[in-house]
Structure 1
Amino acid sequence: MKKIITFGELLLRFSTNIGERLFQTDQIYSHFGGAEANVAISLAKFGHKVYFVSKVPKNPLGYAAEKHLKTNGVHTEYLRTGGDRLGTYYVESGVGPRSAQVVYDRKYSSISQLALRDVDFEMIFSGAALYHVSGITPALSPSLKETVLYSLQKAKQFGVTTSFDFNYRATLWSQQEAAIAFQTFLPYVDICSCGELDARYLLGIEPTGDTLEKREQLAYYYQQIQLMYPNIQWLYCTFRDVISASTNILQGNIYTNGTLYQSKMHPIDQMVDRVGGGDAFAAGILHGIMREWAPEEIAAFATAASVLKHTIRGDYSNFTESEIRDFIHTTPGKIVR
């Protein structure tokens, strides 16, 4: 069993019922979440030995966050305690033509106070096969930006495969700040999640114009990224057609060795919870790469994992590999007996 490391913030999420707004609801649901933590849990469900690097407060909320990880099979030996608070965020569920709304309350959270000296990456990366982090983590503080860069460099020194998800959040930092940081990270990245807008606005790649189809445009951007960063072996993203807040169409893309592979298009109707769908997709991609599957199989599996995530509440997916494989080969809506 290979050792996988993820690094990021664990948050407490509060969300409304569908059809209720934050300022009117008298009932709210709580879940733990966070991009890298969601990926960690999915990979643990797929049978990997996954460790989560983070910092939580030394109080009941921090203890509950740690329990959440352990309950879902994630190792917490590298979880630090301290700081003043656990970051939170609020989700006002969307429905029909009304989009979901997210409000963050994570400033001065415990992880934002994590310093490079607090983490022994040499010990952490010893024996590790994969390291995953996203662009959310370096946006939380200057020290975390420094720590993420150091961790990617150190991972490469230890021969660890590195995975970086752009996950740009405009509420956390500007495009210019993110672009400068990401361009320092990418020389140390093997697997990268980014889309067309990331390529254009964060990497400065000139657009192709409107003459190419969507698939050809994405292949062009990925080709340009690999020319800029030949160390990147895999690039991936999803195409999402938003019919309404409740109905989407999802298709997965993965690019390697100069070829773009795509999954079939999945209609998702009556979505329960879209949050975490991208993390489920990322985990499916990483799982397939770790298992050395064919690119077509990776794209199909990762997209199916994301589709299933949309059917349950909360940030993380709790489906196993066998359940996702069964879903791929089962008629939608059919009772499994």
Structure 2
Amino acid sequence: MMEGKVLSFGEILLRICPDLSQDWVGTGALPFFVGGAELNVASALATWGLPSAYISAMPQNDVTLGILQYLKGREINVDGMLMQGDRLGLYYLPKGKDVKHAGVIYDRSGSAFAKLQRSDIDWGMVFKGVSWFHFSAICPAISQEIAKICLDAVREAERQHIFVSLDLNYRSKLWKYGKDPIEIMPELAACSDLIMGNVWAANQMLGTSLDPGLKETKMSYAHTLLEEQAKKTSLEIVGQFDKCQLVANTFRFDYRDKGIRYFTTLFGQEQLFVSDEYLAEEIVDRVGSGDCFMAGLIYGLYQEMGLLNTLKFATAAAFDKLFIASDATDSSVTDIQKRITK
């Protein structure tokens, strides 16, 4: 079994979540959640008992000190947190909306994280006691400087023989500094051991081939077609990036008006593992499901559960998250194991 901390790096955010079906302005009700893709991963791992650490940047004030205490209370190691800058990043996502689409409104320009400089982080020191480093494509989407910080991190991780996982989160509203993902992401993927995302994100960010008739929003495809595309994408990734050992893909489609159809794949050891399909007539919160899947993969691999059992656990964790109204899961390992399709 692996030892050492799992360190996640990314922007800590507040998600403001108005319920547009009610008079949220008149009632003054504006729920919020502490999150961010990488923090959601760190939170899940800490909940499941792994030594989970998280590094980000936020200003030092009474509000952020409260957030810091909250993270510590969740057993997340935040010793590396950079307390600097002037503001915490925000985003607004009306209840029930998906962060990948038009419903999201970002307010994170000029945040403490967005203003990070390469000289702010000594990765050689940060990686002491770390055996796994996790980040997502949201980070290099923010600025050229953050992209360089990510590259510094993965190169140092490679030098120290630290396992690296990359989530190909694609956020079109963030890539605004003159670079397309395809110009940035391959160099980061080349230093990654595990790459997770979906076949559409891989096509946009890494240039893998994609059946032009395969649309991300259409749910009526046969399983075999999607599995064939997942295997093709995975083979292209491991073929292009020598360091990459494992490729995971998620398939999540709207089901009826309020539900979800969901299954996943994991390619490793020269074969494609496919999860069972999960269906839900209605869900509670779309945010953080993919992050929970990523956390499930890390948990299973860290615990040496085997590739198929890792995929089963990660998929059940991701599906379970759809019924939790927050950014990160609070379900235990036992809770998630009960959801695994027998």
Indicate whether the TM-score tops 0.5: yes
Q: What's 1:104 paired with?
A: 106
The separation in 1 between residues aligned to 2:283 and 2:28, in whole angstroms, is 23
Q: Which moved more, 1:171-180 or 1:153-162?
A: 171-180
Residues 95-130 of structure 1 show CA distances to partners (whole Å, capped at 9, x for unaligned) of 8xxx88211111100111111211121112122110
Query: C-alpha displacement at 1:317, in angstroms?
Result: 0.6
Residues 135-168 of structure 1 show CA distances to partners (whole Å, capped at 9, x for unaligned) of 1112222221111000000001111000111111
Structure 1: stretches of 5+ with no match in the other structure: 331-337
* Amino acid across the alignment from 1:220: K
* Amino acid across the alignment from 1:219: K
Residue 167 of structure 1 aligns to a residue whose secondary structure is coil
Residues 248-267 of structure 1 show CA distances to partners (whole Å, capped at 9, x for unaligned) of 01112111122111111111
Q: 2:337 aligns with which of 317, 325, 331?
A: 325
Query: C-alpha displacement at 1:18, in angstroms?
Result: 6.6
Residue 196 (1) aligns with residue 199 (2)? yes
Contact 2:43 2:76 in 1 (8 A): yes
* Amino acid across the alignment from 2:248: Y
Q: Which moved more, 1:34-43 or 1:239-248?
A: 239-248
Q: Which moved more, 1:151-160 or 1:317-326?
A: 317-326
Residue 180 of structure 2 aligns to a residue whose secondary structure is helix
The separation in 2 between residues aligned to 1:248 and 1:209, in whole angstroms, is 24
Q: What's 2:219 paired with?
A: none
The separation in 2 between residues aligned to 1:281 and 1:325, in whole angstroms, is 14
Residue 306 (1) aligns with residue 318 (2)? yes
Query: C-alpha displacement at 1:13, in angstroms?
Result: 1.1
The separation in 1 between residues aligned to 2:332 and 2:325, in whole angstroms, is 16
Note the 1:155-166 alignment, pairs <5 A.
155-166=157-168
* Amino acid across the alignment from 2:162: V
Q: What's 2:250 paired with?
A: 238
Contact 1:16 1:25 in 2 (8 A): no
Query: C-alpha displacement at 1:299, in angstroms?
Result: 1.2
The separation in 2 between residues aligned to 1:179 and 1:281, in whole angstroms, is 24
The separation in 2 between residues aligned to 1:153 and 1:33, in whole angstroms, is 26
Query: C-alpha displacement at 1:245, in angstroms?
Result: 5.3
Q: What's 2:294 paired with?
A: 282
* Amino acid across the alignment from 1:265: E
* Amino acid across the alignment from 1:207: L
Residue 273 (1) aligns with residue 285 (2)? yes
Residue 92 of structure 1 aligns to a residue whose secondary structure is coil
The 3 A distance-change label for structure 1 pair 311 and 172 is same
The separation in 2 between residues aligned to 1:56 and 1:23, in whole angstroms, is 28
The separation in 1 between residues aligned to 2:199 and 2:24, in whole angstroms, is 33
**Root-mean-square deviation (Å):** 2.2
Q: Which moved more, 1:244-253 or 1:78-87?
A: 244-253
Q: 2:269 aligns with which of 250, 254, 257?
A: 257
How many pairs does the alignment contain?
327
The 3 A distance-change label for structure 1 pair 94 and 322 is closer
Q: What's 1:11 paired with?
A: 13
Query: C-alpha displacement at 1:230, in angstroms?
Result: 2.1
The separation in 1 between residues aligned to 2:86 and 2:139, in whole angstroms, is 18
Contact 2:181 2:204 in 1 (8 A): no
Q: What's 1:215 paired with?
A: 227
The 3 A distance-change label for structure 1 pair 209 and 119 is closer
Q: Which moved more, 1:80-89 or 1:173-182?
A: 173-182
Note the 1:145-164 alignment, pairs <5 A.
145-164=147-166
Contact 1:37 1:52 in 2 (8 A): yes
Contact 1:55 1:81 in 2 (8 A): yes
Note the 1:168-187 alignment, pairs <5 A.
168-173=170-175, 177-187=180-190
Give the fraction of aligned pairs with identical amino acids, expressed as a percent: 28
Residue 261 of structure 1 aligns to a residue whose secondary structure is strand
